[in-house]
């Protein structure tokens, strides 16, 4: 696991960017504390920071082919590299080491851009081919590893984090107004955009080719988890699915245990991380190190993690996140993520990554289990609402039920099933619009009320959820559960979950691997009928049945818990401090927010009349981002003030 960066001149010429690329890699040194390397030639500079995991002695980057005409900087792990290496050896390629990086170089020589189709793993890389005179970039299918890029002043620049690009003199920091709206809708800025006008994310499962013709980068998607590509690769009954899932999950775990450095596992006490530990521990000839973070109150899962650790004889390591100052922690998010990021579980995630790094360099996690096997409550809810919606005439839904929803009082503090306003509103919408409303952090009226008039005017009808609805409409023939899963795989998974884990783990110089996101396992899981995903006891029906021989029932069948602390009471206790931060100069000088609306929101929450904890956290995360921008003018010289974005 590493950090990569580079600069490519998109016109003929010979600029020397040695100093600039060194500044870029220095900005992401936490991703690779074990070494650095560079390839520089006229008009090109590639940089690499290394976290040594496979072949520590021989895996230095950039790495080359036999004659040095192809160079690569690579971030990630290729789990099937040995099989690819054998095939390439038969084709006549000569390997100098046993590192997976070199496999990509020779795969490119033989198969060109199609080489990514053969790679199983998590990756982001940039490859320069001097003979073809192209720079080729690629990102893994699910988006586990990031790649940011910008095209400015006749150059294409890229890096593993925004911080690498921000280190370049002259890089614009103009805030994109639509990205502000996106952030308060999703809680993150979805790909391919970022908070900045000039900077973009290469989407998951995509390749990018840029040459010196002056044309824009050619971006193509090479994999799509759609209903058509999934096909009939799964099982139709529980009896068929259980043994297949057990075999597939063990295989996905086994290939992620290969490491030349200490390896451990996250163990939250939930189903997914427990499943990974249950598969991994028996495969090792030594006790597996496991890492658990505890919380005060109902969210604490440490007793269940302890059960699993004892059953499998792991070396259990515990820490607690109870005393975290969440208001101060919001400021840290900007430094870790480089742009606003609103998932508060990133705070304990960083804590568990730091705990793990004290004992291991690699950790395996349960990320992806919910998305692949239908674990989120919202999947069950979406299925239920769609079932009711299908029996109601469209006119009745849109008009009568829509009017009733508008009149019904808003009761935020009641359990969801008693909040009829939400239910009626979702019934009045179509499936895609209803699901977008389910996953949003802030509905349009809520978030726009917080924006300044100038920011609202600059949005010009922007719809943050148009991409999500497009995915769901493309899958209109799918069952509602699969429809929602595909939407999450396109938005929530790469934008929130995988971004959170990558940045938190890399901030601690830790590699994290996710067996549930093996792309073959993903396709298989998505292909299962909804009845195997959601059963009488809730989501992940088939997964829980497959794990019954391996895990206690009270781990498998208790209510799902989150990996976070309860922010609502904290924000009521800290009402005055919140006002000092969110109505302070950083927010007011940005020109992006309406101070009176923000104050009203804080007062409503403090009084207990409403629960605005989610929006308050987003405001705190955004304030931290703005504060970071003000603190680093030299690293991010502004071509225009951030406030001009509104």
pLDDT tens for 603-626 read: 999 999 999 999 999 999 999 999
Mean pLDDT for 377-382 is 89
* Bridge pairing between strands 362-364 and 511-513: parallel
User: Can you tell me the distance from the alpha carbon of 45 to that of 135, in angstroms, rounded to the nearest whole number?
Assistant: 11
pLDDT > 80? residue 638: no
Which pair of tokens denotes residue 230?
């999934």
User: Can you tell me the distance from the alpha carbon of 591 to that of 589, in angstroms, rounded to the nearest whole number?
Assistant: 5
User: Can you tell me the distance from the alpha carbon of 313 to that of 282, in angstroms, rounded to the nearest whole number?
Assistant: 9
pLDDT of residue 105: 96
Mean pLDDT for 37-46 is 95
pLDDT of residue 429: 65
- Taking the CA atoms of 273, 274, 279 and 283 in sequence, report the sign of the dihedral they define: positive
* Bridge pairing between strands 315-320 and 289-294: parallel
| 53 or 588: which leads in pLDDT | 588
User: Can you tell me the distance from the alpha carbon of 381 to that of 481, in angstroms, rounded to the nearest whole number?
Assistant: 9
Domain boundaries, given as residue ranges, for the chain: 2-221, 229-565, 567-645
pLDDT > 50? residue 635: no
Which pair of tokens denotes residue 157?
């620049």
Q: Considering only CA atoms, which of 128, 135, 176, 170 is closest in space to residue 152?
A: 170
pLDDT of residue 397: 47
pLDDT > 80? residue 398: no
Instruction: Give helix 575-582 / helix 595-607 axis angle, nearest 10°.
Output: 170
Q: Partners of 512 in the beta sheet?
A: 363
pLDDT of residue 60: 87
* Residue 125: band (very low, low, confident or very high) from pLDDT cuts 50, 70, 90: very high
Cis amide leading into 180 (omega within 30): no
Cα angle value 569/570/575 (rounded, 5°)? 100
Around Cβ 187, how many Cβ atoms within 10 Å?
25
Q: Considering only CA atoms, which of 368, 469, 471 is closest in space to residue 141?
A: 368
Instruction: Give helix 498-507 / helix 346-357 axis angle, nearest 10°.
Output: 40
CB 348 within 8 A of CB 566: no
pLDDT tens for 2-32 read: 899 999 999 877 788 999 999 999 999 999 9
- What is the secondary structure of 213-250 as a DSSP string? SSPPPEEEE-----HHHHTT-S-SSHHHHHHHHHHHHH
What are the catalytic residues? 2
322 DSSP 8-state letter? T
CA separation, residue 365 to residues 29, 276, 471, 608 (Å): 24, 7, 27, 37
pLDDT of residue 399: 45
Q: How many alpha carbons lie under 13 Å from residue 335 in its C-beta half-sphere?
A: 12
Percent of the chain at pLDDT exceeding 70: 87
Q: Considering only CA atoms, which of 199, 261, 249, 344 is closest in space to residue 56?
A: 261
- Fold of the CATH domain 2-221: 3.60.20
pLDDT of residue 387: 78
Q: Considering only CA atoms, which of 582, 341, 592, 583 is closest in space to residue 458?
A: 592
User: Can you tell me the distance from the alpha carbon of 30 to that of 545, in angstroms, rounded to the nearest whole number?
Assistant: 40
pLDDT of residue 160: 98
pLDDT of residue 407: 44
Residue recorded with tokens 């009203």: 600
Q: Considering only CA atoms, which of 197, 170, 196 is closest in space to residue 638?
A: 170
CB 155 within 8 A of CB 8: yes
pLDDT of residue 634: 44
User: Can you tell me the distance from the alpha carbon of 429 to that of 551, in angstroms, rounded to the nearest whole number?
Assistant: 41
Is domain 229-565 classified as CATH 3.40.50.620? yes
User: Can you tell me the distance from the alpha carbon of 365 to that of 514, in angstroms, rounded to the nearest whole number?
Assistant: 5
pLDDT of residue 395: 54
User: Can you tell me the distance from the alpha carbon of 255 to that of 117, in angstroms, rounded to the nearest whole number?
Assistant: 18
* Residue 384: band (very low, low, confident or very high) from pLDDT cuts 50, 70, 90: confident
494 DSSP 8-state letter? I
Cα angle value 489/523/375 (rounded, 5°)? 55
Q: How many alpha carbons lie under 13 Å from residue 271 in its C-beta half-sphere?
A: 27
Which pair of tokens denotes residue 444?
């349009």
- The per-residue pLDDT of the chain, averaged, comes to 88
* Residue 435: band (very low, low, confident or very high) from pLDDT cuts 50, 70, 90: confident
User: Can you tell me the distance from the alpha carbon of 128 to that of 49, in angstroms, rounded to the nearest whole number?
Assistant: 17
397: phi then psi, degrees, rounded to nearest 5: -65, -50
Least confident of 37-51, 53-67, 93-107, 303-317: 53-67
pTM, two decimal places: 0.92
């Amino acid at each position: 696991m590493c950090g990569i960066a580079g600069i490519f001149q998109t016109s003929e010429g010979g600029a020397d960017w040695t100093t600039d690329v060194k500044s870029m890699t220095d900005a992401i040194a936490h991703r690779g504390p074990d070494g650095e390397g560079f390839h520089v030639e006229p008009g090109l500079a590639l940089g690499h920071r290394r976290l040594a995991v496979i072949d520590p002695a021989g895996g230095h980057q950039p790495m080359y082919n036999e004659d040095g005409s192809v160079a690569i900087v690579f971030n990630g792990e290729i789990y099937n590299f040995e099989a690819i290496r054998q095939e390439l050896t038969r084709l006549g390629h000569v390997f100098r080491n046993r590192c997976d990086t070199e496999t990509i170089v020779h795969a490119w020589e033989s198969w060109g851009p199609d080489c990514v189709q053969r790679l199983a793993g998590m990756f982001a890389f940039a490859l320069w081919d001097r003979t073809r005179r192209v720079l080729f970039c690629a990102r893994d299918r699910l988006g586990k590893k990031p790649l940011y890029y910008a095209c400015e002043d006749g150059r294409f620049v890229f890096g593993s984090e925004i911080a690498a690009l921000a280190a370049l003199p002259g890089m614009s920091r103009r805030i994109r107004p639509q990205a502000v709206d996106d952030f308060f809708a999703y809680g993150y800025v979805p790909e391919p955009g970022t908070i900045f006008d000039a900077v973009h994310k290469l989407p998951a499962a995509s390749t990018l080719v840029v040459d010196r013709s002056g044309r824009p980068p050619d971006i193509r998607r090479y994999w799509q988890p759609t209903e058509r590509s999934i096909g009939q690769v799964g099982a139709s009954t529980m009896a068929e699915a259980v043994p297949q899932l057990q075999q597939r999950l063990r295989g996905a775990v086994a290939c992620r245990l290969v490491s030349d450095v200490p390896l451990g596992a996250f163990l939250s006490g939930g189903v997914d991380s427990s499943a990974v530990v249950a598969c991994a521990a028996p495969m090792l000839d030594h006790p597996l190190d496991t890492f658990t973070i505890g919380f005060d109150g109902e969210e604490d899962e440490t007793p269940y993690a302890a059960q699993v650790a004892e059953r499998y004889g792991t070396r259990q390591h515990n820490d607690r996140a109870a005393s975290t100052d969440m208001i101060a922690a919001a400021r840290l998010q900007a430094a870790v993520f480089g742009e606003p990021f609103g998932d508060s579980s990133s705070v304990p995630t960083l804590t568990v990554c730091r705990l793990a790094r004290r004992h291991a360099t690699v950790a395996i996690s349960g990320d992806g289990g919910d998305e692949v096997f239908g674990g989120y409550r919202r999947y069950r809810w979406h299925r239920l609402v769609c079932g009711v919606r299908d029996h109601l005439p469209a006119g009745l839904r849109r008009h009568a039920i829509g009017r009733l929803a508008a009149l019904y009082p808003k009761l935020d503090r009641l359990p969801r099933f008693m909040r009829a306003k939400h239910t009626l509103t979702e019934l009045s919408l179509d499936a895609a619009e209803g699901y977008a409303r389910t996953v949003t952090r802030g509905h349009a009226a809520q978030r726009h009320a917080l924006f300044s008039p100038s920011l609202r005017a600059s949005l010009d009808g922007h719809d943050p959820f148009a991409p999500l609805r497009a995915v769901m409409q493309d899958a209109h023939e799918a069952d509602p559960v699969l429809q929602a899963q595909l939407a999450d795989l396109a938005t929530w998974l790469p934008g929130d979950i995988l971004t959170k884990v990558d940045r938190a783990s890399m901030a601690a110089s830790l590699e994290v691997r996710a067996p549930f996101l093996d792309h073959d396992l993903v396709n298989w899981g998505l292909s299962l009928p909804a009845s195997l995903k959601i059963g009488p006891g809730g989501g992940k029906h088939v997964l829980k049945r497959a794990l019954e021989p391996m895990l206690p029932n009270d781990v498998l069948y208790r209510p799902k818990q989150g990996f976070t602390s309860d922010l609502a009471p904290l924000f009521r206790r800290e009402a005055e401090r919140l006002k000092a931060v969110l109505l302070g100069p950083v927010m007011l000088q940005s020109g992006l927010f309406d101070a009176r609306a923000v104050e009203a929101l804080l007062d409503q929450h403090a009084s207990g009349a409403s629960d605005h904890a989610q929006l308050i956290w987003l405001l705190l995360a955004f304030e931290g981002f703005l504060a970071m921008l003000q603190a680093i003018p030299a690293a991010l010289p502004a071509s225009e003030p951030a406030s001009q974005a509104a």
